[in-house]
Amino acid sequence: MARDGAVYACQSCGATQTRWSGQCPACGAWNSLVEELTTRPPGAMKPASKARTRQLPFEGLDTATPAPPRIVTGVDEWDRVCGGGVVPGSAILVGGDPGVGKSTLLLQVAASAARRGVRAAYISGEEAVEQVRGRAHRMGLADAPVRLAAETRLRAIVDGLKADPFDLVVIDSIQTMWSDAHEAGPGSVTQVRAAAGELVRLAKSRGLAVILVGHVTKEGAIAGPRVVEHMVDAVFAFEGERGYPFRILRGAKNRFGATDEIGVFEMGDAGLAEVKNPSALFLDTSGERAAGAAVFAGIEGSRPVLVEIQALVAPSAYGTPRRAVVGWDSGRLAMVLAVLEARCGLGFGDRDVYLNVAGGLRISEPAADLAAAAALASSAFDVALPQDCVVFGEISLSGEVRPVSRMDGRLKEAAKLGFRRALGPLDADAGGALAPPIAPMGVGRLADAVQRIQDARWTPGGRRP
């Protein structure tokens, strides 16, 4: 029987239960329920005394609200993902795998902001002050007036932040913070939630911008507490493929800006360098394009990014053919394979399929469908696409190639990088004023695109519906 006021929080998903059990009923994790003491059972609210009852002040939708002021840190890629800088009084959670470069990024953000006169603090619960300082020296940031501290006790941190006026503080990481008001161990959901709650309250009450670093579990969720994602104003994921220097900061939630914006960085000896024009970063322009490769003209946030999609189709040695995909959604690959089979007669039932997005980029745009299909067909027929050709278009289950957003922007960027042809849902006059530099190879149906590749027919023309 549960004690009065006791709840059991799952350390894996954050769901709370009123009684203990060996397996979390919400997420199925074993041995993850840990007792949490609350002063009042959840949901119960004390009735307000008559004297203190105030009416809720309602407002209209059309009242003009000034845009929030922003703390511009000077790290442009970071500021862009924030929506133009960090909003004072907001809380941001930055998640990423261990070693991806979260501490490096946020030290650079804090240092750059401090150099511009922002009162910035960096509190590390993972490294000693000497270690952080040593890294700052190596990155050439030693002169930046960032206030450093190594601390994990929440009470000391909150007191410290109240005693000195700050504009921006980095907490690295939220999993190491620990409040003596709770009995649970550091890193538990209870502690992480308590620490995040306390710091978010401090942010709101003092107009201080708080950036929380969060580790990510194997499954890709920010470790332990999904709840923290709901408490903060913005959640960014810092991603990078092992073995590649590129790092991408991607907005997953942002109350003060768009979430499709990305920031691109390159990890080097002196920390992270900003990549201001990433369009050609993921493109290998050396040598001939091999069979099985297609250049996708993509859009990430507000910027065009060209990236090579590589496919390999090979006879399968086993009964169940393999499907392996890196940088793209495996469900999407299954769909494209099914459409190729059902609508174009190109079967993969006895063949292994490997699909790779070059450079360690992850793409999620449906516009990449046609590029993936073109790479697959190119490998299956062993016919290389022209060196100067980009591909884009969304594929429907009926086998149509659908127009995608910002086709002009994609063509313009491709033209700038020397491409002269485009395979996609294009009319003969696609590209408008750009028509001469980019010749459209328009396709209305996926079968048309597959036929073009099989015949190696690269003549320009508009699509037929």
Size of the site for ligand TYD (CB under 6 A): 15
Distance CA(77)–CA(63), nearest Å, equals 32
- Distance between start and end Cα atoms, the chain: 68
Return the bridge partners of 30, or none.
23
When CB distances are held under 5 to 8 angstroms depending on the partner's kind, the choice from ligand TYD, Mg ion, none that residue 431 binds is none
134 contributes a contact to ligand TYD by CB under 6 A = no
Minimum separation from the CB atom of position 135 to ligand TYD (A): 5
Using the minimum distance from each CB to ligand TYD, give the nearer residue, 138 or 230. 138
59 vs 269, which CB is nearer to ligand TYD?
269
Answer yes or no whether residue 104 interacts with ligand TYD by CB under 6 A: yes
Provide, rounded to whole angstroms, the least separation between the CB of residue 101 and ligand TYD: 4
Residue appearing with tokens 């609210």: 45
CB of 126 to ligand TYD, least distance (A): 8
Give the tokens for residue 265: 């960085």
List 100, 170, 307, 371, residue binding ligand TYD (CB under 6 A): 100
Min dist CB 231 to Mg ion, Å, is 21
Local structure of 92: helix, strand or coil: strand
Q: What is the footprint of ligand TYD within residues 249-288 (CB under 6 A)? A: 267, 269-271
What residues numbered 67-106 form the site for Mg ion, per CB under 5 A? Answer: 103
Q: Of 96-104, 204-212, 251-259, 292-300, which part binds ligand TYD (CB under 6 A)?
A: 96-104
Residue 113 vs residues 70, 110, 157, 304: alpha-carbon distances, Å = 12, 5, 20, 28
Residue from 85, 101, 225, 424 touching ligand TYD (CB under 6 A): that is 101
Instruction: For the CB of residue 358, give the shortest distance to ligand TYD in the complex, in Å.
Output: 21
For residue 350, CA distances in Å to 314, 320, 360, 444, 454 come to 9, 8, 28, 28, 20
Q: How far is the CB of 134 from Mg ion (least distance, A)?
A: 14
Is residue 252 within 8 A of residue 259, CB to CB? The reply is yes
DSSP string, 376-433: HHHHHHT-PPPTTEEE--EE-TTSBEE--TTHHHHHHHHHHTT--EEEES--TTTTGG
**Strand 120-124 with 147-150, pairing:** parallel
| Residues lying near ligand TYD in the complex (CB under 6 A) | 96, 98-104, 135, 138-139, 267, 269-271
